[in-house]
């Protein structure tokens, strides 16, 4: 037995243009409730018109611009009630954190200590610089003194001493010659009795003394030029060289000590800056314990974009509850820029493209909003059981800026996925199927089946591509003839 095709409706609501096909029933339009089995219940004229195919889904309103407010570690001291309308700068949440306050006190003490140590390091560096300046000055004076001593001896004392000893030797040589000449005359004078024996002996002694003095003078000159003068020059040159070496060694030592002190200053300054920055960060965190609204809007607890609310006993933020660092505790959506988000079944997501026209009906608001598909997710969401929850599809809401929207409102969307203009249409109820072949019954053919080929359809009408002509009337039976 064949029967009318139970056209699949799934959960896709397909809107059609009901006025396309004219209804011509036995007793007018519609179904004759008193008709018996095998009797014609209704007749419809096949006419050309437009077939509109839509996908209908439940949706939730969500703002396209959401400001997420993150909490600071601590306990809630005060929280604004959810749904409150706020202005930018209004307080929405206050948190207390005793541990943070203790960290701040300890941090300030550490910063003060680091400041003192940094100042002490700078003082040590300045003192070292003064000491080094004195050492360098002393070294330069020592170099100058050693050079002057060397120059004084080489250009002054040494030549003068050498000249002095040379003159003494020459004088001694003259004295020795004079004494010898006098002594050479003495024996003859003594023989003539002009002098006494004592005078002769005195002359002899004077000659010997003069010869000794000459020998001594020459020896002193030789010792000076051979030993004393080179030795003194070498000593003074060594002192001058030692002064230079000492000055160079002082420079190296000073450079090392200066580098160490400068490094100590940088280290202490870095530690001071680190402690100051840590204190500033803690102070900011304490300031951030009082959270204000960054812009105008309505407060929604938790992450409104994911609809996963921050849980605390009854699922609400409340005084005394713990908050984790950087957790999203509330959202301020832009209610003037809302979209309807529908999770489209995977059977229909392939039909979704950007720009498809759509209408949205929001529960509690007496208006239908036009719009279009503005975004289609490439991955499926998951429900609480872990199963696929569909593909999030966003539909714009034209004229919704002034509507009393709230994030999370329920809505129903109708997305037009296809329009077929000027096609031949008949009602779904007039179509039967037997052995995989679609057919209908045409008025005046005494219940004979008419084979037809169908095209697209919605939940009320189907396109006939062949087997039927415009203006022919199809019949609907309670029980198919011959069934």
Distance (Å, whole) CA 71 – CA 48: 62
Q: Please, which residues bridge with residue 304 across strands?
A: none
Residue 368: HSE in the Cβ half-sphere, 13 Å Cα cutoff: 5
If you search the block for the tokens 């070496």, which residue do you land on?
A: 245
Find out whether 250 and 135 touch, Cβ atoms under 8 Å: yes
Token pair, residue 70, equals: 């993150």
Read off the pTM: 0.55
Question: Contact, 396 vs 354, CB < 8 A?
Answer: no
Q: How far apart are CA 471 and CA 112, in angstroms?
A: 98
Q: What is the torsional sign of CA 101, 105, 106, 108?
A: positive
Angle formed at CA 405 by CA 402 and CA 408, multiple of 5 degrees: 160
What residues contact residue 28 under an 8 Å CB cut-off, 6+ apart?
Answer: none
Residue 122: partners with Cβ closer than 8 Å, 6 or more residues away: 265
**Hey, what are 371's tokens?**
């719009």
Q: What number of CA atoms fall less than 13 Å from residue 29's CA on the CB side?
A: 6
The H or E element containing residue 451 is strand 449-451
Q: Mind listing the pLDDT tens digit of every residue in the chain (483 residues)?
A: 344 444 333 333 333 333 333 333 333 333 333 334 468 899 999 999 999 999 999 999 988 888 999 988 899 999 999 989 899 999 999 999 999 999 999 999 999 999 999 999 999 999 999 999 999 999 999 999 999 999 999 999 999 999 999 999 999 999 999 999 999 999 998 888 888 999 989 999 999 999 999 999 999 999 999 999 999 999 999 999 999 999 999 999 999 999 999 999 999 999 999 999 999 999 998 999 999 999 988 898 988 776 543 344 344 689 999 988 888 999 998 888 899 999 999 999 999 999 999 999 999 898 899 999 999 999 988 766 667 779 999 999 998 777 888 888 899 999 999 999 999 999 999 999 998 899 999 999 888 899 999 999 999 999 999 999 999 999 999 888 876
């Amino acid at each position: 037995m064949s029967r009318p095709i139970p056209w699949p409706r799934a959960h896709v609501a397909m809107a059609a243009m009901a006025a396309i096909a004219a209804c011509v029933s036995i007793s007018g339009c519609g179904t004759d409730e008193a008709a018996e089995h095998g009797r014609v219940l209704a007749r419809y004229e096949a006419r050309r018109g437009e077939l509109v195919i839509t996908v209908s889904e439940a949706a939730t309103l969500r703002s396209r611009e959401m400001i997420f407010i993150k909490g600071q570690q601590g306990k809630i001291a005060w929280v604004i009630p959810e749904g409150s309308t706020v202005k930018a700068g209004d307080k929405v949440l206050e948190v207390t954190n005793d541990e943070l306050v203790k960290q701040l006190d300890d941090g300030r003490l550490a910063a003060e200590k680091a400041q003192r140590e940094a100042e002490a390091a700078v003082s040590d560096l300045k003192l070292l610089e003064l000491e080094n300046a004195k050492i360098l000055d002393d070294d330069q004076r020592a170099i100058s003194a050693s050079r002057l001593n060397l120059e004084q001896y080489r250009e002054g004392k040494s030549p003068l001493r050498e000249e002095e000893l040379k003159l003494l030797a020459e004088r001694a040589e003259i004295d020795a010659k004079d004494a010898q000449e006098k002594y050479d005359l003495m024996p003859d004078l003594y023989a003539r009795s002009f002098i006494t024996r004592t005078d002769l002996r005195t002359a002899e002694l004077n000659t010997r003394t003069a010869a000794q003095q000459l020998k001594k003078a020459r020896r002193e000159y030789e010792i000076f030029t051979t030993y004393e003068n080179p030795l003194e020059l070498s000593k003074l040159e060594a002192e001058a060289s030692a002064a230079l070496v000492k000055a160079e060694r002082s420079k190296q030592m000073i450079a090392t000590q200066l580098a160490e002190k400068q490094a100590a200053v940088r280290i202490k300054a870095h530690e001071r800056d680190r402690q100051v920055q840590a204190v500033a960060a803690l102070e900011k965190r304490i300031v951030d314990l009082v959270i204000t609204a960054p812009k105008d809007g309505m407060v929604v607890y938790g992450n409104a974009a994911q609809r996963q609310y921050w849980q605390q006993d009854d699922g609400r933020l409340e005084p005394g509850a713990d908050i984790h660092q950087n957790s999203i505790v509330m959202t301020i959506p832009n209610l003037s820029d809302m979209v309807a988000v529908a999770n489209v079944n995977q059977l229909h997501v392939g039909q979704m493209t950007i720009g498809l026209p759509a209408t949205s009906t929001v529960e509690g608001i007496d208006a239908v909003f036009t719009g279009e598909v503005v975004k289609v997710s490439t991955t499926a969401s998951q429900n609480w059981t872990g199963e696929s929850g569909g593909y999030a599809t966003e539909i714009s809401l034209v004229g919704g800026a002034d509507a009393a929207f709230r994030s999370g409102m329920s809505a129903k969307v109708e997305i037009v996925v296809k329009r077929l203009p000027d096609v031949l249409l008949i009602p779904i109820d007039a179509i039967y199927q037997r052995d995989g072949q679609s057919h209908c019954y045409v008025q005046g053919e005494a219940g004979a089946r008419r084979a037809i080929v169908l095209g697209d359809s919605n939940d009320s009408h189907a396109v006939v591509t062949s087997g039927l002509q415009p203006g022919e009337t199809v019949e609907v039976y309670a029980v198919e003839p011959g069934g």
